[in-house]
Structure 1
């Protein structure tokens, strides 16, 4: 059912006053998905009758697909959930989405803010430029024709969603230092802030 224009405008007005999406939904008797949908809608002009392909997540129904992926993510560990980059990649590859990444990034951010209390332990984090996270992991790889479990160091930059991965022989302090040196030399910079997860082996 189409949400009346006056209700759409009320959603925008309440958001502009600083009211969060959950409260707006309660006040107006709407679902939070509906509130996020119209809070994120910038153009309220009537659609033309042309057959052109729109680029808005709302206009072409892309939002329903993204909402489904993000809702399913709530049952997964945080590290296995979709990033905004991954959502955009899947929309383009699997659904033929013609839009740009920023529109997807904004939608994912708004959705997560609106659904933060539904996620076990989820908190929306704000990362400044120049901050990085480092964490060890394991993966299967073929070395000299033999499949083995290898260690790696993943260094991510949350502000830009960039990440680098270095294969290493272990998870010792020496491996950490070597892996960080390789990454920093590759990107040509050293982050102002570095957060190391599970730092027991960092020494």
Structure 2
């Protein structure tokens, strides 16, 4: 049903042709034609859910938590393990896997406000993106956070990274040289986020940012 609704949305709201819908969703041309121009949409079957998450109060509790968290930033949301821990404190006798299955089903069925007919960004070959990141590493037997400079190539989904002691300009420029050595060349174009070592002053979206020397 989600695919059928997406096909009709691309046809009626975005004005895409059948061939464009076929390429966008990577589906059969006849399937795109059938549902794009057909007035009737097949009725969605709603099988009766069974199990403690549906027959008892637990599903309603988790659904309420997930709905609350959907309004927050991802970093502030409850993890699956935290949700399971809270349920156990309330007397839940089921397994962690049961909770994970329920959360996955909930997330797949609650896609309100998400425009599936999005426009794909074009990323030409050999164009790269650069941004600072953080990764975990083992140092002296303990997990520590390590600064990294990450260079990704969206066209091929390739990625490279260099560990750093800091995120200053010296580390930024040194890491760029190391990344060029890793990939064996220099990208034709590099998109850089508003990194302090690279961007001196940000400007409105329709103006060029002021870069560092």
Q: Compute the TM-score of the two structures, normalised by the length of structure 2.
A: 0.42
Q: Quick one: higher RCO (CA 8 Å, sep 6+), 1 or 2?
A: 1
Q: Compute the TM-score of the two structures, normalised by the length of structure 1.
A: 0.44
Structure whose residues are more often helix by fraction: 1
Report which of the two structures shows the higher radius of gyration computed on alpha carbons.
2
